[in-house]
Structure 1
Amino acid sequence: MSKKLLMLLPHGAEEMEFVIGVDVLRRCGVTVTIAGLGDTKIKCSRDVIIHADTTLDDASKTDYDAIVLPGGLGGSKAMSESSQLGDILKTFESNGKLIAAICAAPMVLLAHSIALGKSITSYPSFKDQLSGKYKYIDDKIVVVDGNLVTSRGPGTAFDFALKLGEILVGADKVKQVASGMLYNMNIHN
């Protein structure tokens, strides 16, 4: 049975982090549901319009193995202000499910008091804000601490997505997917 992942899509999301994440995880065989925050027609940070599969309201009625928060300043601000998302993240955390955030999105975790005290990384400009509540790691592009996975930015999106794939479906499948994309994991590990 395929693993199920909920990928958030708020207005102002970072397109590369979002699209690379969805694409790589679907190639890995993960069932990815794209949930728009507020509506289904979302304008991303570089004015790319993406149509979500559903809204967060509707998606929240289904059970998932993982949730992913893409970065982007506007998107992270919108996710930080969503009490509904905060409740969903708290449920994921209390159930030990996989929570992942990239770039500015670890600020969403802080806003909702998720995974406090765990090792984390983010886009470098958020280090000072996150360091007080988390063990900040700035020498790795993807940081895994239990059920929490974080990464640094658009340039680390493939590594982030492949790490999520590895956790959800295993290293063998991820190596196959990476090879098919001509992604050299030896250079990046």
Structure 2
Amino acid sequence: MVAAVVFLADGTEEMEFTITVDVLRRAQVDVHVVGVDLAQPYALCSRGVKIIPDVTLSDAIDWTKYELAVIPGGLKGAETLRGNKSVLDVLASFYSQKKYVGFICAGTTAAKAAGIGKDQLATSYPAFKGELEDYYDYSEERVVVDGTLVTSRGPGTAFLFALTLVELLVDKEVAYKLKQEMLTSDPL
């Protein structure tokens, strides 16, 4: 079974996190949620939703079993994740092993902090363009895939981001079936 890790911190954007985890799990991806520097046993997300991680970063985690690592947005959550050396080390390791790394919204700032994908195509929430365009070949597309680097713009692109990850990790037919089941595209 394909496996993915999605990082979670206080201030993470709920939609970007939840939609990504949900869609990956619908595609039968084994998703583990890793809490990072949480003040409580749960993450208090950007709009007040509380989410309990499966494990915390301090737990013993076998990173070799994952094919994808995801950083959702939410300014405070992204700041925590990009400021955590262990998270950055995991991201850099995945990228160097040609495993997928996904970033949405403010999460793309963690890709830069990890030294991932210099001069590759990438996108983010528009407010971070100035911070990222000197490092990336910045795009304003909703979802950008350049090699194993996958980036997206914000809450409104979360379904497309997650379905793109499904297409890359599982296959195009599963992504298409999920689009139809979740009514995210017009039926044929």
TM-score interval w.r.t. the shorter chain? over 0.9
**What is the match of residue 181 of structure 1?**
182
| 1:151 matches 2:135 | no
CA contact (8 A) 2:42 2:50 kept: yes
| 1:72 matches 2:74 | yes
Structure 1 stretches of 4+ with a deviation exceeding 2 A read 57-63
Deviates more, 1:23-32 or 1:33-42: 33-42
CA contact (8 A) 1:60 1:88 kept: no
Deviates more, 1:67-76 or 1:111-120: 111-120
Note the residue ranges of structure 2 that are not aligned, 5 or more in a row: none
Within-5 A mapping of 1:43-62: 43-58=44-59, 60-62=61-63
Which residue identity lines up with residue 167 of structure 1 in the other structure? L
The Cα of 1:61 is off from its aligned counterpart by 2.5
Match of 2:115 among 101, 113, 116: 113
Whole-angstrom CA distance in 2 between matches of 1:84 and 1:60: 12
Which residue identity lines up with residue 33 of structure 2 in the other structure? I
The Cα of 1:47 is off from its aligned counterpart by 0.9
The Cα of 1:116 is off from its aligned counterpart by 1.3
Alpha-carbon RMSD: 1.5
Whole-angstrom CA distance in 2 between matches of 1:114 and 1:101: 11
The Cα of 1:59 is off from its aligned counterpart by 5.9
**Deviations 1:128-184 (CA, angstroms, capped at 9, x unpaired):** 11010110001x100000000000000000000000000011010111111111111
Within-5 A mapping of 1:162-181: 162-181=163-182
Normalised to the residue count of structure 2, the TM-score between the two structures is 0.94
**What is the match of residue 8 of structure 2?**
9
**Is the alpha carbon distance of 1:97 and 1:23 closer, same or farther for their aligned partners in structure 2, counting shifts above 3 Å?**
same
CA contact (8 A) 1:42 1:52 kept: yes
Q: How many pairs align?
A: 185
Normalised to the residue count of structure 1, the TM-score between the two structures is 0.94
Which residue identity lines up with residue 17 of structure 2 in the other structure? F
The Cα of 1:26 is off from its aligned counterpart by 0.4
Note the residue ranges of structure 1 that are not aligned, 5 or more in a row: none
